[in-house]
Structure 1
Amino acid sequence: MFFIFKIFRLLFALPLIMLLAIGGYLYFQLKYKEHKLKTLLDNLNSLKSQYGSLLKKYNQTIGLLETKNETIKKLEEQNKKLESENYYLRLKLTNLESQYSNNDRIKFLIKAQNYNFTDLPLDKCTNNDTLNYACLVNIMQNKLGFSYKKESGDYLESVDEFIRTKGGDCEDWSLFAYSLIYYLARNGYKKITFYVKQNNSKLYLYKEGNTIYYLPNAKAYTIEIKNPSIVCYKINETLGHCITAICDKPLLPNQKNNCTYFEPQNGKILNPKELYIIVSNDFYFREWQFWK
């Protein structure tokens, strides 16, 4: 009987023991979570502190960058101004050379202006006082063997060399056309004919025997002979091209007076941008290194 009584007491005490065990487990879990939460809060506070420090450094860096950008902008403006002043100083010096010195460059230019084109078939391309330039270069290239010749380095041929070697690069062709226009003016020519592209049209060039030569899809463009210049323009950052212009007044660097621009290798009228003058009537100005 006593044994049975103990068993009943044990059965009644067991839930209490289990409750105490569960309570102890939950207590330790709570303490663990509190410790973990405290650790996370400490980490959060540390991260906030680091964030604040980094934000301060970031703002300081942004401030320094803005200051440096302003400084760079001012320096670029000063550099641009100095480049402009330097450019026009070089231009003035070049003009002084052209006007008052008798150096090799001026001799070269004067020689080009006074060259006599006695060996070219101008008569085939002449109508009264007008030369058909497209006709002349067509004969030169298709009958006389003239062509574009790529050169190594930056070298401007004389007109003598151009005629002797039967061609040159774009600046040599431009000097040829420049020199030819002076020759035409000295010999009674008043006008010169180029061409513009026009579909379903044809430009008369010359007659040889029973054969008449035309330039297809081209229309005549005739102007008065005036001041010639050699000009160049950029195609891209490393490539440029030189052509010839006929202007109402002599060109100055970086100016676009009332001019007609044409490709001296075929006589086509062009409309280039960002011109850079090389040779005008009374001076020789040559620094650009992009001709091809």
Structure 2
Amino acid sequence: MSRKTKSKSTISFDLFMVFVILFLCVFAFLMVKINSLNQTIDSYKYELSTLENKFSSLNDSYAVLNSQKLNLETNLADAKNDYDGLKKESADIIGAINTYQTEIQNALSWYKKNSVLGQSKTEERIKSRLDSYCFEIKQNTCEIKLGCFYLLNSEYFDLSYHYDNETYSKEDKLSSLTEFLDNNGGDCEDYSLFYKAEYNYVLSQCEGKSVVLKGWTLPNDDSDTRKYWLNNARTWYLDDVALVTIENFTYPNIVCGALYDPVLGNVAGRCMLAFTEKPILSSSDLDDLDGAFLIEPQDGSFRGNINQINSNVFLLTNKTYTDDSILSWIDSVISDSDYYLFSRTYASWLTYDSFDKQLQEQKIKIKDAII
């Protein structure tokens, strides 16, 4: 009976031990799992912390980028406003350039139109007188009497010298050929323009011929004096003057500046005609004025040659415009198609045509800049 009880106790103990061992095994297993889970959690916490840091950094970057975006949008709006303003300003500038170019083209057209006689009744009468009085064709030669224009203008058409302030109530205005005739004359500039137009008409009648200009000048002590016939019919003449023959220098240009004025008897602002070997078509051709023959438009007399002692009239250049010893100079030139002006600011010659081309270049640059 006692042996049986011991056996049951043993069994119970064994079962208990088995249970304890199983518990310990399960506990150990759970501890391992827990440790593993803790490590995983720690890893996730680290990753979460890293992600939070990155997220915070991204938030900071986003804030910076958003601020930059707002700045860019503001700058873009400002730039658009500036562009719109610049575009309008450029359009205004281009409009002004177009206006200047139109005025320049009108001025160039004006000089070209007034370089030849027109077709009014008075101008046709003048042409008829010029044909009869002022040039003579001898075989292959065409002789033009430079003093003849003075005769026609003063004796036949009653043209005389008038100051601009008397005619226009202003100090300086260049009259057109029509205005010159309507006013029965004008000042030295007006006479020069009209003389050149008369001469150009005569020159056109000499086309294909060798042109010789016949002029006169006041004699010096060594000069032979003769009669200078003012017209082909030899009914008008100047006595006791020296004769002047000019060959090759047949292209007329108006030159103005500080020149001797026979009306005032001193050096003053006025104009004369300068005859060159070649037509002046650009500022680079102004060198051809060196040695050009100067003719007084009011009487047709020869007044010497440019840049020579016999005239003491010098063409301004970037070297001579500061020379105080030069008392009589040329600072503007009118050809048949352009106006040239010496600029003391730039120490160079400027022209309407070159200014027109510069304006066109600037207009293209402005257009390219705003596109």
Q: TM-score, normalised by structure 2?
A: 0.45
The counterpart of 2:228, out of the listed 182, 195, 203, is 203
Q: Is the 8 A contact 1:133 1:194 kept in 2?
A: yes
Identity over the aligned pairs, expressed in percent?
22
Of residues 213, 225, 245, the one that matches 1:222 is 245
2:134 to 125, 129, 132: 125
User: Would you say the 8 A contact 1:185–1:225 is kept in 2?
Assistant: no
Contact persistence 2:273–2:295 (CA under 8 A): yes
Q: 1:133 to 1:114 in 2, by over 3 A?
A: same
Mapped pair 1:245 → 2:281: no
Corresponding residue SS for 1:179? helix
Contact 1:249 1:257 (8 Å CA) reproduced: no
Residues 1:174 and 2:192 aligned together: yes
Residue 249 of structure 1: how far off its partner (Å): 3.2
- Does the 8 Å contact 1:202/1:217 carry over to 2? yes
C-alpha separation in 2, matches of 1:201 and 1:185: 26
1:280 matched residue in structure 2: 335
Aligned match of 1:234 in 258, 267, 284? Answer: 258
> Do residues 213 (structure 1) and 236 (structure 2) align?
yes
Residues 152-174 of structure 1: CA deviation (Å, up to 9, x unaligned) = 12100011211232211000011
Question: How big is the shift at 1:286?
Answer: 5.1
Q: Which moved more, 1:109-118 or 1:144-153?
A: 109-118
- 1:227 and 1:281 in contact (8 A); partners too: no
After superposition, residues 76-115 of structure 1 pair within 5 angstroms as 103-115=105-117
Query: For 1:106-134, what per-residue CA distance to the aligned partner results, in whole angstroms no more than 9, with x for missing partners?
Result: 11111012324422111122222222121
1:260 aligns with 2:293: yes
Matched positions, count: 189
Following superposition, the deviation at residue 285 of structure 1 comes to 2.9
Larger Rg: 2
Deviation, 1:225, is 5.8
Match of 2:335, as an amino acid? S
Contact 1:194 1:221 in 2 (8 A): yes
132-141 or 236-245, which moves further after superposition?
A: 236-245
Gaps of 5+ in 2: 1-99, 166-170, 261-265, 304-310, 315-328, 344-371
When residues 140 and 106 of structure 1 are mapped into structure 2, their CA distance, relative to the original with a 3 A threshold, is same
**Distance change in 2, residues 1:218/1:113 (3 Å):** same
Q: CA 1:214 to 1:185, structure 2 compared with 1: closer, same or farther past 3 Å?
A: closer
Is the 2:226–2:239 contact (alpha carbons within 8 Å) kept by the matching residues of 1?
Answer: yes
Match of residue 213 from structure 2:
192
Partner secondary structure for residue 180 of structure 1: helix
Unaligned runs of 5+ in 1: 1-96
The one-letter code matched in structure 2 to 1:106 is L
Q: Kindly tell me: are residues 235 and 112 of structure 1, through their superposed partners in 2, closer, same or farther at Cα, counting changes over 3 Å? A: closer
Q: Is the 8 A contact 1:248 1:257 kept in 2?
A: no
* Structure 1 residue identity aligned to 2:270: H
Kindly provide the CA deviation profile for residues 62-108 of structure 1, in whole angstroms up to 9, marking residues without a partner as x: xxxxxxxxxxxxxxxxxxxxxxxxxxxxxxxxxxx99x986221111
Q: Counterpart of 1:275 in structure 2: which amino acid?
A: I
Secondary structure of 2:297 counterpart: coil
How far the C-alpha of 1:235 sits from its partner, in A, is 4.8
1:21-170 → structure 2 map (5 Å cutoff): 103-116=105-118, 117-120=123-126, 121-122=129-130, 123-128=132-137, 129-152=142-165, 153-170=171-188
* 243-252 or 199-208: bigger deviation: 199-208
